[in-house]
Amino acid sequence: MVRTEHSRLLSFLIGSSGYLVPRP
């Protein structure tokens, strides 16, 4: 499992939604 891809997916999900963990 590539951590870079995982982080990218998480970042994209959080960026798209950004309602569970609002980040500036």
pLDDT reported for residue 21: 61
Residues 14 and 21 sit within 8 Å (Cβ to Cβ): yes
Task: Let me know: does 24 contact 14? Beta carbons within 8 Å.
Answer: no
Would you state the pLDDT for residue 20?
61
3-state helix, strand, coil in the chain (%, to 5): 60, 0, 40
Residue 17 CA neighbour count, 13 Å, CB half: 8
Query: Span 1-24, mean pLDDT?
Result: 72
Please state the pTM of the whole predicted model.
0.39
Q: How confident is the model at residue 8 (pLDDT cuts 50, 70, 90)?
A: confident
Residue 17 has which token pair?
């939604």
- Residue 9 predicted with pLDDT over 60: yes
